[in-house]
Chains A and B, each alone.
Chain A
C-alpha cells in the first residue's frame, strides 16, 4: 500500500506546479523505493522503460513539415476557408468532425486525425475562425481546447469498433487467461452502444455551444443599451 505515496507525490507536485518532468521522476523514485526496489535496479528499470518508449516521441517527426506549411500560411488558409462557408458555426464544425472521426476510427483509419497532424495545423484554426464568425463569443482558447477534445473523444469512442486495435487484442488475451472464449467481433460490437452514446452526449454539448449565440443575440436585441457578451 506504500506505493500509493507515489500518487500523492505526483498530485502534490502538479498542484504546486513544480516542473512536471521532475515530478514524474520523483514519483517514479517514490514508487520504486516504496516497493523495496534497490536504487540501481530502479535506475536500470527506468532507463529500460524510457528507451523502450522512444516510439512515443517519434511522432514529432512530422513537426518540420507542419512548421514549413504553417510558415506559408496553412493556419490562415484554414481560417479563410471557414470564413468563406455560409452557416458554419463552432458547434456544427465540431459535430461534423466528431462524426467523421468516429466513423473513420471505427473502420481502422485512426491516423486520419491526431493532435499534431490534424488539430494544430487545421482543425483548431478552423474552430477559432468559426467561433469568431458565428457570433457566439467563445474565445479562441475555448474553441481550440474543444477542437482538441473532440479529436480525442471521436477517436476513443470509435476505435474500439475496429477489430484489430490494441485494446481488443489485449482484452482477448486477458479473457483467455480466465478460460473465457473471446470473439474480437463480439468485443467490437459491444463498443457500438457506447459509441452512439458518445455521439449523442458530446454532439449535444457542442451543439449547445451555438445556443449561446442565439441567446446572446436575443438578449442583445432585447436591450440595445446593455452589452450582452
Chain B
C-alpha cells in the first residue's frame, strides 16, 4: 500500500533538485550555503526513517546551524530571471482565467483523492490519504503546467526554489516547532502551567471559573502552539473536575467550546508557525508578526465570545 514513504521520497527528490539547481546556476556568495541547506533537508526526507533518532537529532542541529548562519538566502534580484511586471501583465492577459485552473486543480485533486482513497481501501493507507492526495495534486498540476507552458524540464525546480529561497528559515519553522511542542510535553510543560492556574482565586464564581478555563486554554495554546496539545491538560485541570463534576456543565459544551477557546490562542502565537509565520514570509510582509497583528482583535473578541457562550449555554440553571 502507498503511504507517507512515497510523499517523503517525492519531497526528498524535490529538495535535492532545489540543491542541484542552486549549486549549478548560482554564482553569488550565498549560493553555496543555500545549496547545502536544501541538500540537508533532502537528506532528512530521504534517509530520516533509516538513520535512527540520534542521527536525526544531529541532522536537525546541523540544518539549524546552516539556516541560521546568515550565509543562505535568495539570489540577487537581477540574476534570478524574474520576469518584469509588464511581461507578467501581458502573460496574464494571454493565458487569462485558465491560469486559475491548475492552481485550483491541486486542492480539487487533494480532496477527490482523499475521498477516493478512504472509500476504496487497499490503494493508500487511510491515515495517509490526505497527504498522498495533496502530493498527487501537486505532481499532476506541475505536469499540466509544464506541457501547457512548454517549459524546460528543470523549470518547476527553478521556480520552486525561487519561492523556497524567499521563504528561507520559515519553511522549517513548523516542523521544528512541532518538535519543540513534543519536548515541552515530555518535560511536563502542561502540568506546570496547570499548577500556575491553581494559584488563581476564582472566589467560587462560575463566570470567573469559565473565564479562567477558556483563557487558560488559549494561553497554554499560545505556549505550545497547538490547541490539541493544550486541550488534554486544561480539560484535566479544570474542565472535568470543576466545570463538569462540580458545576454540572454539559460535558460536550465544556469540551467543544474549550477547544475553540484554544483556537483563539492559535491565532495569537508565533508558535503556530504554519498559520502565522509562514504566511508572513510567503506574502513578503515587512512585519514577521503582521498576520498575528491582523488576527489579534478577532482572536481576543472570540475568546470573550467563547467565555460567554459557554457560561450562558453550557450550564443548566
Chain A positions near chain B (C-beta within 8 angstroms): 1, 3-4, 6-7, 14, 19-22, 24-25, 27-28, 31-32, 34-35, 37, 40, 42-78, 80-81, 109, 111-122, 124, 141-142, 144-149, 151-153, 156-157, 160, 166-167, 170-171, 174-175, 178, 180, 182-183, 186-191, 193-194, 197-198, 201-202, 205
Q: A67 with B252: in contact, given A3-B188, A145-B280 (CB under 8 Å)? A: no
Given contacts A58-B7, A157-B260, contact A112 B111 (CB under 8 A): yes
Q: Answer yes or no: B270 CB below 8 A from chain A CBs.
A: yes
Q: How far does the Cβ of B183 sit from chain A's closest Cβ, in whole Å?
A: 5
Q: Are A55 and B7 neighbours in the complex by a CB distance under 8 Å?
A: yes
Q: Say whether chain B's binding surface is mostly helix, strand, loop, or mixed.
A: helix
Shortest CB distance A10–B (Å): 8
**Contacts known (A61-B134, A72-B99); A115 close to B275, Cβ less than 8 A:** yes
B155 at the interface (CB under 8 A from A): yes
Q: Smallest CB-CB separation from B162: which chain A residue?
A: A67
Question: In whole angstroms, how far apart are the Cα atoms of A72 and B99 in the complex?
Answer: 8
Measured between beta carbons, the chain B residues less than 8 angstroms from A156 are 260, 263, 266-267
Are B155 and A68 interface neighbours, CB within 8 A? yes
How many angstroms between the C-alpha atoms of A76 and B111 in the bound complex? Answer: 27
The verdict on A62 contacting B106 (CB below 8 Å), with A73-B91, A76-B88, A197-B302 known, is yes
A157 near B55: Cβ-Cβ < 8 Å:
no
CA distance A34 to B4 in the complex (A): 34
Inter-subunit contact B183/A42 (CB<8 Å): yes
When distances are taken between beta carbons in the complex, the residues of chain B under 8 Å from A1 are: 192, 195
6 smallest CB-CB distances across A and B, nearest first, come from A47-B57, A67-B159, A73-B92, A47-B56, A64-B160, A190-B256
Number of residues on chain B facing chain A (CB within 8 A): 137
Bound complex: CA A28 to CA B175 (Å): 13
Please state if A19 and B67 are interface contacts (CB–CB under 8 Å): yes
Least CB distance, B62 to chain A, in whole angstroms = 11
Q: How far is the CB of A199 from chain B (nearest CB, A)?
A: 11
The smallest beta-carbon distance between A20 and chain B, in angstroms, is 6
Find out whether the CB atom of A19 lies under 8 angstroms from the CB atom of B267: no
Interface pair B291/A148, CB less than 8 Å apart? yes
Which of A56, A111, A170 is close to B175, meaning CB atoms less than 8 Å apart? Answer: A56
User: Can you offer 22 A-B residue contacts whose CB atoms are under 8 A?
Assistant: A1-B192, A21-B169, A21-B176, A43-B53, A55-B4, A57-B45, A57-B171, A58-B135, A61-B138, A62-B141, A64-B160, A65-B106, A65-B138, A68-B156, A72-B149, A73-B90, A73-B91, A76-B89, A76-B91, A77-B97, A187-B255, A191-B260
Q: Decide yes or no whether B211 CB sits under 8 A from chain A.
A: no
Question: Which residues of B from 153 to 182 have beta carbons under 8 Å from A?
Answer: 155-160, 162-164, 167, 169, 171-180, 182
Interface residue ranges of B278-303 to A (CB < 8 Å): 278-280, 282-283, 285-287, 290-291, 293-295, 297-298, 301-302
